[in-house]
Structure 1
């Protein structure tokens, strides 16, 4: 009898519900007198859906916005059993019913799901004892319990439920009172309506009814009330200001605005409206309140045992509109749901587990939406059954239920539970759009068409690019990158000065970087890119200067001609939409290029640290007993060389008149003296402590930066302190600390040297250079040949870095601008050439560090939930301030001279190492020598044989080694050509790998999205396509046609 009754009630048509007052569902109610959750009922639940028919036709109902009536019409057709003139089945599986329900659109806002805060309150009522509702647990995402001592909350943990309690909860919903869209403004009204409904199905008696009502109205004691002593009365509106006021429905289904709500009879009951609720904040945990998302609503679970009851009173209530019920919830938000369970004494633990079950269900993404959209009891039952379909049961003998499971770092999305798999879902298209071949890189066929589209795309966001930069995170990023950019610019200028005999040196490098960086930050399409100097440019400058010196040509004039030709060719590439070729740069090329630049940063940081030993030598053969005899003095060279004699003659130095032993080290070196003594090295006296102190500063900077950056994941200090102060300002705090320690100890470590005067390094040149100068006229034409090589260099460096910055996993929302970026770089390259300044292009490591320092994470995360990555703070403020302050550095030498160079070298090592994160190449490199059972679950290992993965990695490693050899050799000028060659090498790899293998190994899709598509594809192949091999063959065949690949 029970099975037939249950089967009869679960599939009642939603159109048959009673819309009088609240929606009262009586379909599954039966008397619970002297019986509580019988064993037969639970067995009935287990066998309820066996043999259910699958609906004919479409298996799912896709969500269409603004067409909610169409779904309702479809629902009525299905419920009536007629579909286009033929009979259609009226049965659903739980998941299909849930998917159909969640696919509908509601005209009113009351059924739009909100975030939920769920609170579990318990009570034990005995005669002669006063009792109150006490908060025992709460849920925002994960469960938190009041510990047995009652003084503190537990750590958030994943709720583990017994299967028995879930079936008992199902019985409660099936046989208890279900009131949907109840209109009430106070707890008293809720209690009266629940008890009125109880009278229609199972009278309690006047005395019991009175006691139950008094029980429901008892005071609620919350855990946080013990900690708060100060009482601060504050009046606050708890309706979400950004949303319009909710609408309620009268008996006839007419919409009633809030200001014209039906009057409530004044029968002595407390009247609390949603609009004028006053809250005492002395009883509110304001810290916890900050973790609740805006617009969230409350779900209150009230369970307990009463001596005067001989049968349970169960009710599930959904209020419409949600109202503020003072004192009911721990936090001052409106209440949407109530679950009430009062039963006889002796089953308190059982009721507690049922309360935990409904609270955990309300935090489930799918059931949460079902609870908002449910039309009747059957929808709620289907939601529970769908939840039961997804749960995992742990054997009691292999698991300790008392163990609290830590919240996972990443929780898989539940979207596939909400939407039925569609036959023929085009995963290929979705996969294709996950690359960087979006509309930004499509050829327009018009001159400067891509540039104009970039400007139109970026113009609406231009103002927000500055307003979005007003944050502490941007300040931290700016201070960090200013220090990181200063040293390479000055070092590059110094090296260039040595190579060109001072024609272009540190001051020119500083001025050029500042001017180019400011222009790029103001007008570029992707201002997150940081400009810098590159090694191949330095090699090109050396070769060009040597050529000019041999043939008697003016170096600066010839360089100006080459620069103007390069600028013209860059503008020509912009005009012809040549940046669309970037779509051929795949992960294979990106990772090889990015890995090389990161490794070079690490290598050069260590190399510069080691080279300090040449300038600050140490005595490796110390004898502690002879320390008092060590000395080093300056003497006149006994046999001066011809070069020394000429130097003395040119500077009017008379060696015999100099008191050599009294000279300091600098003066001795300046006058070409010699150092003699047991404490002298090959280049001067041994300098104690400096090299060792430099090593200490170097590694302290690296480790302290990494430690402070990861400090946001620690358990110390509040979240805002950990993230907004310590983690965001990690590098700046490290630099400041190291500078302070170095200053206090007083060890003469090498310091940053910044030009103190704003003028050209040489007096024989100005700020404007003539393109012809003293060179023959034909040099203006011949220079187009080296300009072609420079154009390739600029184009490849700029666009590969731009591709890395514009990756899909960075979740950029304002679009990119490849054409506009190249236009600004080309234009400024011409300006720098005319002014005799170095050329600057996108710097890969600095740009990656810039992006990493601006990552946005969700501020309002539930206890135990990991902050979600939201994207990057896209703005122009940081880049603009970095290069603006760099230009003012000439006037800040009094401060900058205290920064030790080893500290900046440590920052370079940290940036290079941190930029290697997320590069798939290094993940695959770790697989060598790792047994298969210990290998991580990388998605590509599921579909690509391990030998093919190793082959792919070996080819990429070989290319990386080739690039390294060329980059560090005298032929570094051809480095851009070799980077371009990687694109062709990647094309040749199609001969050794199938298209499917390459799609898993070489693309831009993040791991998490790959797994989502993988799961979706498996579902389609397994359930909707008769022959999976046929599906795969068709997919590959279509890909070949679309790609026009003749080799396949």
Structure 2
């Protein structure tokens, strides 16, 4: 705390870099300390509730204030308080002196005011990169007079550290003689139109500036500006309030956001509380000791009337949410229909048209509608995937070799798979997934990303080898153009061009825009051959080969029905692991979902879907990567922030809905009637889309970040949590272990046949994934210490929720 004769001010940022005290010295005499403070519970403190209620009623608000130097922002807030009659006009100069000090102060004992401009240069350097706002906008400070803080007169001196700092907000506070006639503090709030770096100690980007002023005279400890600042800090750290405040269109909406926050804190609804990682592990994956205990818990949680209703109604009256639903539905349609047609074409070739594109589209529509309606986690996307396509190919090879009718054997394999999955559900077998932590998830997600990237490279190599140069060049142009346009539009939300809403729309609709653009480019080169998507020749719900939809289940000998139990057990293992790992990535705490997971309920729904698909001879489906976690992220509002000089994104508002999955699969079912339009899309556009999915999956995977460290100059390592806590050599050793396992998984996933047998190595894929669990539990602890494993398995920094700087 800094005392300046009759005035004082102080500061507290809510997140310190560690629990230990960090000291920063600035020449010649400024000393700041960052120290952890206990989290303030507004619900448990009467004074905190009263203070926020008063803020909601009387605090002057300045919404949509253009970014400006800190001194200018504070003067606007002070003038607003004067206009509202809450402080006298004589308090302005005293407040500015308390908050900023006098650059040429002659007070020899006032260490906080000495050489404050030098203190700013030491502690408030703007981190590399452009300043970004909470809507992922950016603004170059060198091109805007309002955001150029390099001039000393506009810089923030050392005392500005004495504020409450947070991710997206800063709360300066001070005590003034001019307010000694008052017995309470006054508050004013400003929201900037875009976030910018105001020179705070930790380099945070600020969207809100909240000013708290109080009298110098003695007050109750619960009424001091310090305590009120902490109360406001607790409110702004609430993700729901922060999102509501950021999107508030008027003063009334902003005040309603404060009241809603108070209502949530004082009368919390247990069903709306976001599950913690510990509760997910300890409760969802715990053995209940009862028959189908986990399933019963999922049904009670996810089919609770209020929860299930909210899955359909949340956001339907909110224009911003409706826009998100629309953009996500369009994105999902293209993200699902294109690989569905591609895998259907492969099944057509591999099974002599017993299963083809029509069956695949109908299967996808049925599975998606059923899962979106009844699943425990509707954000998960079920699809037919590459492993399933390979498995169907292997089954067909077995049937040809053993002279078994394919479709009946296929159907019985699916029925055995569904039965085994149901047995796993009623025995609470999902408890083993609690041992499948970040170590396995990272390898699996990186493999999926690598496979999608390879689906861009391999087809283009084949085109290069088998086609004329002009055909290859066009295919390369269309594939690469699709990827580049989609990536450019995805990142366009960070630009400073156009309006924020237009940037967001272009970002959300980037994939369909890129596909349509490259389809139009193909029309320019009609004289060059370009293979289109393989759509069905027939229109309507008819099978590809003209066979009956119902499979003759008993046109097969009894011994082969039991033989199908072997292939069913292999397939059930694949479904069990892939389904649960994909769902775990959707339910990651970072996605901030509140309704809770439904692992057992999801497996039951998938089992029912498999039964129907098997009886009708349609391709099987299960949870797919990367579509499932990308679906959750596509629906969310995210905020970009800088940490350690790098840009990251965090979810500030999650949306959980069944609408997007349901509507998407309605259109997928109707797409059979639009075969001519789909047939215009070049197949090479699909390659570029696969590359986009692969690169998008790698973003945010800690394993991939550690792989990049192997090729990074050591001086350029980001000072993140594991770099600061684990020796570099140990980090590389941990990465090397994961790389070895990734190579093993890729080797198995290559799907080659062993000699002249019908055994395909791809069948071992689920067993290799299961092998990672004992490796993590029993082998890694012999190589690494518990502290090292903990740091390396953390996806993000563990932050102290409330901390402080005193000067």
When normalised by structure 1's length, the TM-score is 0.54
Aligned with residue 154 of structure 1, among 139, 146, 156: 146
**Correspondence list, 1:875-914, <5 A:** 875-914=657-696
Q: Which of the pair is proportionally richer in helix?
A: 2
How far, CA to CA, are the matches of 1:385 and 1:109 in structure 2? 12
Aligned to 1:518: 369
Give the match's secondary structure for 1:488: helix
How far, CA to CA, are the matches of 1:180 and 1:947 in structure 2? 60
Aligned to 1:214: none
Deviation, 1:479, is: 1.6
**Correspondence list, 1:714-725, <5 A:** 714-723=495-504, 725=505
Deviation, 1:929, is: 4.8
How far, CA to CA, are the matches of 2:639 and 2:173 in structure 1? 38
Matched, 1:977 2:770: no
Contact conserved, 1:370 with 1:380, CA < 8 A, in 2?
Answer: no
Contact conserved, 1:595 with 1:916, CA < 8 A, in 2?
Answer: yes
Matched, 1:612 2:463: yes
Matched, 1:836 2:680: no
In the alignment, structure 1 segments of 5+ residues that lack a partner are: 11-45, 50-58, 70-102, 124-131, 144-151, 185-238, 241-287, 294-355, 358-362, 388-429, 619-688, 860-864, 1020-1048
Give the match's secondary structure for 1:869: strand
How far, CA to CA, are the matches of 1:612 and 1:435 in structure 2? 51
Inter-CA distance 373–754: structure 2 relative to 1 (3 Å threshold): farther
Deviation, 1:384, is: 12
Contact conserved, 1:527 with 1:876, CA < 8 A, in 2?
Answer: yes
How far, CA to CA, are the matches of 1:818 and 1:870 in structure 2? 25
Aligned with residue 769 of structure 1, among 548, 551, 562: 551
Matched, 1:110 2:18: no
Aligned to 1:446: 290
Contact conserved, 1:435 with 1:808, CA < 8 A, in 2?
Answer: no
Aligned with residue 1007 of structure 1, among 778, 796, 804: 796
- The structure showing larger relative contact order (alpha-carbon pairs under 8 Å, at least 6 residues apart) is 2
Equivalenced residues, count: 629
Aligned with residue 784 of structure 2, among 986, 993, 998: 993
Q: Larger C-alpha radius of gyration, 1 or 2?
A: 1
Deviation, 1:908, is: 0.9
Give the match's secondary structure for 2:290: coil
Matched, 1:728 2:519: no
Matched, 1:549 2:400: yes
Deviation, 1:770, is: 2.8
How far, CA to CA, are the matches of 1:820 and 1:386 in structure 2? 45
Deviation, 1:867, is: 8.9
How far, CA to CA, are the matches of 1:381 and 1:596 in structure 2? 55
Q: Deviations over 1:635-683 (max 9, x none)?
A: xxxxxxxxxxxxxxxxxxxxxxxxxxxxxxxxxxxxxxxxxxxxxxxxx
Give the match's secondary structure for 2:543: coil
Inter-CA distance 289–449: structure 2 relative to 1 (3 Å threshold): same
**Correspondence list, 1:906-925, <5 A:** 906-925=688-707
Inter-CA distance 507–732: structure 2 relative to 1 (3 Å threshold): same
Aligned to 2:75: 120
Aligned to 1:497: 348
Matched, 1:806 2:587: yes
Matched, 1:934 2:778: no
How far, CA to CA, are the matches of 2:410 and 2:795 in structure 1? 43
How far, CA to CA, are the matches of 2:374 and 2:433 in structure 1? 21
How far, CA to CA, are the matches of 2:353 and 2:614 in structure 1? 16
**Correspondence list, 1:843-882, <5 A:** 843-857=624-638, 869-882=651-664
Contact conserved, 2:408 with 2:551, CA < 8 A, in 1?
Answer: yes
Contact conserved, 1:180 with 1:375, CA < 8 A, in 2?
Answer: no
Aligned to 2:328: 477
Contact conserved, 1:567 with 1:826, CA < 8 A, in 2?
Answer: yes
The root-mean-square deviation of aligned C-alpha atoms, in Å, is: 4.8
Q: Deviations over 1:161-215 (max 9, x none)?
A: 3459999xx999554443326899xxxxxxxxxxxxxxxxxxxxxxxxxxxxxxx
Inter-CA distance 884–364: structure 2 relative to 1 (3 Å threshold): closer
Deviation, 1:116, is: 5.2
Contact conserved, 1:434 with 1:808, CA < 8 A, in 2?
Answer: no
Give the match's secondary structure for 2:700: coil
Contact conserved, 1:560 with 1:769, CA < 8 A, in 2?
Answer: yes
Q: Deviations over 1:482-541 (max 9, x none)?
A: 122222222212222222211111111111111111111111111111122233323322
Contact conserved, 1:178 with 1:377, CA < 8 A, in 2?
Answer: no
Give the match's secondary structure for 2:593: coil
How far, CA to CA, are the matches of 1:292 and 1:613 in structure 2? 47
**Correspondence list, 1:557-568, <5 A:** 557-568=408-419
How far, CA to CA, are the matches of 1:495 and 1:709 in structure 2? 30
Q: Deviations over 1:883-934 (max 9, x none)?
A: 2211111100122121111112111111111110011111111222544332
How far, CA to CA, are the matches of 2:790 and 2:180 in structure 1? 51
Aligned to 1:463: 309
How far, CA to CA, are the matches of 1:291 and 1:173 in structure 2? 29
Q: Deviations over 1:364-399 (max 9, x none)?
A: 999846759997499999749999xxxxxxxxxxxx
How far, CA to CA, are the matches of 2:226 and 2:3 in structure 1? 20
Aligned with residue 579 of structure 1, among 430, 433, 442: 430
How far, CA to CA, are the matches of 2:421 and 2:275 in structure 1? 32
Matched, 1:780 2:561: yes
How far, CA to CA, are the matches of 1:156 and 1:5 in structure 2? 29
How far, CA to CA, are the matches of 1:815 and 1:550 in structure 2? 47
Q: Deviations over 1:846-897 (max 9, x none)?
A: 22332332231369xxxxx999631432211221122221111110012212
How far, CA to CA, are the matches of 2:632 and 2:429 in structure 1? 26
Q: Deviations over 1:338-369 (max 9, x none)?
A: xxxxxxxxxxxxxxxxxx99xxxxx9999846
Residues 897-906 or 869-878, more deviating? 869-878
Deviation, 1:106, is: 3.7
Inter-CA distance 433–728: structure 2 relative to 1 (3 Å threshold): closer
Inter-CA distance 166–767: structure 2 relative to 1 (3 Å threshold): closer
Inter-CA distance 376–584: structure 2 relative to 1 (3 Å threshold): same
**Correspondence list, 1:656-805, <5 A:** 689-723=470-504, 725-746=505-526, 747-755=528-536, 756-757=538-539, 758-763=541-546, 765-773=547-555, 775-805=556-586
Q: Deviations over 1:297-332 (max 9, x none)?
A: xxxxxxxxxxxxxxxxxxxxxxxxxxxxxxxxxxxx
Residues 498-507 or 700-709, more deviating? 498-507
Residues 587-596 or 925-934, more deviating? 925-934
Deviation, 1:992, is: 0.8
Give the match's secondary structure for 2:75: strand
Contact conserved, 2:371 with 2:378, CA < 8 A, in 1?
Answer: yes
Aligned to 1:531: 382
How far, CA to CA, are the matches of 1:868 and 1:385 in structure 2? 27
